[in-house]
């Protein structure tokens, strides 16, 4: 099967550090919030790990950001400016996952170097990478040292407000991570997309060579 | 009652009023002919004038029966007075209002012993104005101003006729503090500070004593000695600075104490706690409005209370700032060595933790002491509190229950959706085979 190089090395490095980091953040996040209910480690250990991994993830985020800012690959994140077109394509994609996939219909999205995301992915990752992840990092840093950032925290309505925002995004990621992993198994084989995130190469449908 | 019927008595022996008047006039005549109170007195010795006063007043049991039945002691221990710092100034400086006309017998009516002490207390200011100024800022003075005639005044701590420099406090008995705060002194005496031989005034100061839970004076007192405390806490305590702001020292360092959360009304514009305006009590009336049953504030009532404080175009300047503190002043003094302090984060950061089962809302009262009203513990876990209790949050311990449900839903959805999708896929394949169709996907 022909393949194209869609995941450059910096993106793959960022992705896997991010993946491991997010799992660790979710686990330590659960431990911090539900001590007594979950006892994998002490509260303090969980907090310290959560803090350190959080800073690693913030640094890692800049690998992703700088790569895309200084590369033409940023086009993969360009939004579809026609809402109607975007909606139509998203609906087709949703229909595929909800119905067509069971019938063995082909995926309506065809991966290319500058269009590696299907419309649903594109929208999701714009929101996640440009809104939710930075917001989570920001609220996380504020909560890391509440005293140091007390002025900003008070301006936002107080530590409980900041924490609630942090927890709401945590809740989203705690659910999203399962969906993300599952969707990654919906390639032409269960491991196809996952392998491509290691090798950088995505297998493409021979009928759609435009992807090259 | 006429002067002639004035009752000046020594224990067991009644003096004739005329005799007393004669002695008094003779003494005062001597007093007023002396140019200086210290004239003729050797250093440390009693002046001639003072000796003349003591001629009568050193008599054991000399006392005056007041109209209310109390007996005002007129006795002065001459030996103690001679040793006291007030020996240097002598009797007339403090008793300047005593003259031929009124001594003895006293024409001025004294309604009670306390009233006499209160009136004499003003004399102290003539020499000790800076100290009195400090005292005026104290909780003791505030209580006095609020009408509590038994609030501590100078002479309650400093025996005026035996006053010694820096000797008002007795380490062994804790007097004069223990006269009113005995249970606290007993708890303190067996604490790490008591064992180290500190005085009450080392933390509370002698004259500008503030209410324990008002302001930062006590925290500052802790940090004045334990200067490296913040840095040493930072080595193991995440968010140490925040803990120092939101948790009182005894909350951890008095490990067996009962704790509570005090939600303090805070004026963001003025950067200080909201205080009751004199003569315009607003806290109680606003509380009554939002909690007419008196069952304690729930989350909605607390929100309404805050809205009430912010109603008059104050631009949401009033907020709530929470502080985890020890409920009882006695417990607050049972401080232990740092090794015995609470270091287990789970003591507070778990759901249902003890400190969050008792919640109060407070304002600074007219006398400087907090005025508290009970709130239900649910105010710390309610979604409504995101707004009203924005300034206080302890991870785990005061987490919002609604978010727990949302998280459960998200995780179940995250697991359930793929499982459902896989199941449908499996069912489709199975039935496709059964009806002879080809296996897809």
With an 8 Å Cβ cutoff, is A42 touching chain B?
A: yes
Q: What percent of chain A has pLDDT over 70?
A: 97
Q: What pLDDT score does A73 carry?
A: 87
**Minimum CA–CA partner of A36 in chain B:** B350
Name the CA radius of gyration of chain A, rounded. 19
How far B142 CA sits from the closest chain A CA (Å)?
A: 32
Q: Are residues B244 and B369 in the same domain?
A: yes
How far A96 CA sits from the closest chain B CA (Å)?
A: 12
Residue B92 is assigned to a structural domain of this protein: yes
Instruction: Report d(CA A171, CA A177) in Å as an integer.
Output: 10
Q: Are residues B420 and B358 in the same domain?
A: no
Interface touch B391/A148, C-beta < 8 Å? no
C-beta atoms surrounding B112 within 10 Å? 15
Pairing status of strand B63-65 against strand B8-10: antiparallel
Q: What pLDDT score does B163 carry?
A: 87
Interface of B with A in 241-260 (CB under 8 A): 241-242, 244-245
Pairing status of strand B359-364 against strand B259-267: parallel
**Under 8 Å between Cβ of B139 and B213:** no
Measure CB to CB from residue A174 to each of B239, B410, B421 and give the nearest one.
B410
Q: Are residues B72 and B141 in the same domain?
A: yes
**Under 8 Å between Cβ of B234 and B240:** yes
Interface touch B403/A167, C-beta < 8 Å? yes
Instruction: Report d(CA B133, CA B250) in Å as an integer.
Output: 30
For B261, the domain range is: 217-388
**Minimum CA–CA partner of A144 in chain B:** B239
Q: Are residues B330 and B441 in the same domain?
A: no
Residue B164 is assigned to a structural domain of this protein: no
How far A32 CA sits from the closest chain B CA (Å)?
A: 7
**Minimum CA–CA partner of B245 in chain A:** A147
Q: Classify residue B335 as left (phi > 0), alpha (psi -120 to 50) or beta.
A: beta
Give the long-range contacts of residues B185-188, CB within 8 A, separation 24 or more: B187/B330, B187/B331, B187/B333, B187/B334, B188/B333, B188/B334
Query: What single DSSP character describes residue B215?
Result: S
How far B411 CA sits from the closest chain A CA (Å)?
A: 5
Q: What pLDDT score does B23 carry?
A: 45
Residue B35 is assigned to a structural domain of this protein: yes
Residue B354 is assigned to a structural domain of this protein: yes
C-beta atoms surrounding B276 within 10 Å? 17
Q: Does residue A25 or residue B435 have the better pLDDT?
A: A25
Q: How many domains does chain B have?
A: 3
* 3-state helix/strand/coil string of chain A: CCEEECCCHHHHHHHHHHHHHHHHHHHHHHHHHCECCECCCCHHHHHHHHHHHHHHHHHHHHHHHHHHHCCHHHHHHCCCCCHHHHHHHHHHHHHHHHHHHHHCCCCCCCCECCECCCHHHHHHHHHHHHHHHHHHHHHHHHHHCCCCCHHHHHHCCCHHHHHHHHHHHHHHHHHHHHHHHHHHCCCCCCCHHHHHHHHCEEECCCCCHHHC
How far A100 CA sits from the closest chain B CA (Å)?
A: 10
Residue B417 is assigned to a structural domain of this protein: yes
How far B428 CA sits from the closest chain A CA (Å)?
A: 7
Measure CB to CB from residue B414 to each of A43, A44, A178 and give the nearest one.
A178
The B63-65 sheet, strands edge to edge:
B13-14, B8-10, B63-65, B71-73
pLDDT in tens, chain B (441 residues): 333 333 333 333 333 444 444 444 444 444 444 434 444 445 567 888 888 888 889 999 888 888 888 998 989 999 999 989 888 888 888 888 777 667 766 667 788 999 888 988 888 988 999 999 999 989 899 889 888 888 999 999 998 898 888 778 888 899 899 999 999 999 999 999 999 988 898 888 889 888 877 778 888 889 999 999 999 999 999 999 999 999 999 999 999 999 999 999 998 888 889 988 777 788 989 999 999 999 999 999 999 999 988 886 666 688 899 999 999 999 999 999 989 999 999 999 999 999 999 999 999 988 888 899 999 999 999 999 898 999 899 999 999 999 999 999 999 999 999 999 999 999 998 887 776 555 443
Measure CB to CB from residue A171 to each of B349, B385, B403 and give the nearest one.
B403
Please give the average per-residue pLDDT across A49-68, as a whole number.
97
Residue from A22, A43, A132 to probe the interface with B (highest B Cβ count within 10 Å): A43
Interface touch B414/A170, C-beta < 8 Å? no
Q: What pLDDT score does A207 carry?
A: 61
With an 8 Å Cβ cutoff, is B347 touching chain A?
A: no
Instruction: Report d(CA B70, CA B160) in Å as an integer.
Output: 20
Interface of A with B in 89-118 (CB under 8 A): 97, 101-104
Q: Which residues of A touch B265 (CB under 8 A)?
A: none
Tokens of B46: 């009693």
Closest listed residue to residue B266, CA positions, set B387, B369, B142, B391: B391
Interface touch B411/A178, C-beta < 8 Å? yes
Q: Which residues of B touch A146 (CB under 8 A)?
A: 239, 241-242
How far A67 CA sits from the closest chain B CA (Å)?
A: 30
**Under 8 Å between Cβ of B85 and B163:** yes
**Minimum CA–CA partner of B352 in chain A:** A36
Q: Model confidence over A152-211: pLDDT tens digits?
A: 999 999 999 999 999 999 999 999 999 999 999 998 899 999 999 999 998 887 665 544
How many A×B Cβ pairs under 8 Å?
129
Fold for the domain defined by A3-211: Fumarate Reductase Cytochrome B subunit (1.20.950)
With an 8 Å Cβ cutoff, is A40 touching chain B?
A: no
Residue from A50, A160, A164, A173 to probe the interface with B (highest B Cβ count within 10 Å): A160
Q: Are residues B380 and B408 in the same domain?
A: no
Domain coordinates in residue numbering, chain A? 3-211
Alpha-carbon B428 to chain mean position:
74
With an 8 Å Cβ cutoff, is A154 touching chain B?
A: yes
Residue B12 is assigned to a structural domain of this protein: yes
Residue from B267, B393, B401 to probe the interface with A (highest A Cβ count within 10 Å): B393
How far B391 CA sits from the closest chain A CA (Å)?
A: 5
**Under 8 Å between Cβ of B230 and B159:** no
Q: Model confidence over A111-146: pLDDT tens digits?
A: 888 888 999 999 999 999 999 999 999 999 999 999
Q: What pLDDT score does B312 carry?
A: 67
- In this predicted structure, the answer to whether residue A33 has a pLDDT above a threshold of 90 is yes
Residues, chain B: 441
Interface touch B350/A42, C-beta < 8 Å? no
Q: Are residues B145 and B237 in the same domain?
A: no
Q: What pLDDT score does B9 carry?
A: 35
Closest listed residue to residue B258, CA positions, set B326, B324, B187: B326
Q: Are residues B118 and B235 in the same domain?
A: no
> Tokens 């802790």 sit at which residue?
B222
Name the CA radius of gyration of chain B, rounded. 33
Q: What pLDDT score does A66 carry?
A: 96
* 3-state helix/strand/coil string of B101-168: CCCCCCCCCCCCHHHHHHHHHHHHHHHHHHHHHHHHCCHHHHHHHCCCCCCCCHHHHCCCCCCCCCCC
Average pLDDT, chain A: 92
Q: Is the dihedral of CA A22, A25, A30, A36 positive or negative?
A: positive
Q: What pLDDT score does B2 carry?
A: 32
**Under 8 Å between Cβ of B303 and B384:** yes
Interface touch B410/A172, C-beta < 8 Å? yes
Interface touch B386/A161, C-beta < 8 Å? yes
**Under 8 Å between Cβ of A31 and A43:** yes
Q: Are residues B34 and B131 in the same domain?
A: yes
With an 8 Å Cβ cutoff, is B408 touching chain A?
A: no
Domain end (from B157, B172, B203): B157
**Minimum CA–CA partner of B417 in chain A:** A179
Residue B394 is assigned to a structural domain of this protein: no
Instruction: Report d(CA B371, CA B151) in Å as an integer.
Output: 18
With an 8 Å Cβ cutoff, is A37 touching chain B?
A: yes
With an 8 Å Cβ cutoff, is B236 touching chain A?
A: yes
């Amino acid at each position: 099967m022909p393949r194209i190089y869609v995941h450059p090395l910096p993106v793959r490095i960022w992705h896997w550090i991010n993946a491991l980091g997010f799992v660790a953040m979710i686990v330590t996040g659960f431990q911090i919030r539900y001590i007594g209910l979950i006892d994998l480690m002490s509260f303090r250990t969980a907090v310290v790990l959560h803090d350190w991994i959080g800073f690693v993830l913030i640094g890692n985020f800049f690998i992703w950001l700088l790569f895309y800012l200084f590369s033409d690959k940023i086009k993969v994140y360009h939004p579809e400016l026609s809402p109607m077109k975007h909606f139509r394509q998203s609906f087709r994609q949703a229909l595929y996952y909800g119905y067509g996939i069971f019938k063995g219909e082909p995926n309506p999205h065809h991966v290319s170097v500058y269009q590696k995301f299907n419309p649903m992915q594109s929208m999701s990752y714009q929101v996640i990478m440009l809104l939710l992840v930075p917001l989570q990092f920001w609220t996380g840093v504020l909560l890391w040292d509440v005293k140091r950032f007390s002025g900003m925290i008070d301006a936002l309505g107080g530590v409980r407000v900041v924490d609630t925002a942090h927890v709401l995004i945590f809740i989203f990621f705690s659910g999203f991570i399962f969906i993300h992993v599952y969707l990654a198994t919906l390639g032409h084989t269960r491991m196809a997309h996952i392998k491509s995130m290691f090798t950088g190469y995505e297998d493409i449908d021979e009928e759609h060579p435009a992807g090259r | 009652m006429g002067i002639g019927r004035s009752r000046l008595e020594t224990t067991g022996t009644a003096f004739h009023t005329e005799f007393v008047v004669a002695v008094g006039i003779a003494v005062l005549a001597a007093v007023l002919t002396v140019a200086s109170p210290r004239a003729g007195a050797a250093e440390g010795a009693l002046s001639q004038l003072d000796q003349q006063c003591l001629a009568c007043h050193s008599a054991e049991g000399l006392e005056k029966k007041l109209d209310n039945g109390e007996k005002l002691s007129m006795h002065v221990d001459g030996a103690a007075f001679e040793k006291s710092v007030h020996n240097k100034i002598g009797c007339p400086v403090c008793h300047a209002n005593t003259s031929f006309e009124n001594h003895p017998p006293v024409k001025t009516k004294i309604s009670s012993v306390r009233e006499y002490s209160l009136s004499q207390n003003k004399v102290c200011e003539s020499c000790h104005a800076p100290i009195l100024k400090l005292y005026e800022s104290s909780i003791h003075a505030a209580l006095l101003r609020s009408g509590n005639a038994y609030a501590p005044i100078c002479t309650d701590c400093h025996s005026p006729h035996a006053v010694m420099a820096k000797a008002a406090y007795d380490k062994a008995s804790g007097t004069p503090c223990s006269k009113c705060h005995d249970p606290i002194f007993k708890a303190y005496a067996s604490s790490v500070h008591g064992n180290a031989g500190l005085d009450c005034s080392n933390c509370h100061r002698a004259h500008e004593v503030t209410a324990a839970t008002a302001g930062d004076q006590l925290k500052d007192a802790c940090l004045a000695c334990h200067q490296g405390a913040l840095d040493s806490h930072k080595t193991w305590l995440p968010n140490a600075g925040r803990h120092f702001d939101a948790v009182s020292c005894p909350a951890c360092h008095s490990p067996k104490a009962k704790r509570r959360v005090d939600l303090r009304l805070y004026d963001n514009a003025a950067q200080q706690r909201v205080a009751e305006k004199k003569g315009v009590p607003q806290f109680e009336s606003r509380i009554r409005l939002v909690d007419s049953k008196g069952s304690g504030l729930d989350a909605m009532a607390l929100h309404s209370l805050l809205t009430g404080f912010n109603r008059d175009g104050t631009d949401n300047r009033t907020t709530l700032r929470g502080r985890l503190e020890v409920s009882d002043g006695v417990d607050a003094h049972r401080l232990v060595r740092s090794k015995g302090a609470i270091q287990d984060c789970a003591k507070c950061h778990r759901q249902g933790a003890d400190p969050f089962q008792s919640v109060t809302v407070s304002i600074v009262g007219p006398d400087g002491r907090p005025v508290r009203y009970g709130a239900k513990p649910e105010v710390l876990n309610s979604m409504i509190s995101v707004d009203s209790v924005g300034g206080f949050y302890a991870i785990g311990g005061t987490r919002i229950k609604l978010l727990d449900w949302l998280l459960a839903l998200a995780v179940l959805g995250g697991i359930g959706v793929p499982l459902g999708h896989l199941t449908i896929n499996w069912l489709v394949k199975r039935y496709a085979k059964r009806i002879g169709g080809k296996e897809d996907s």
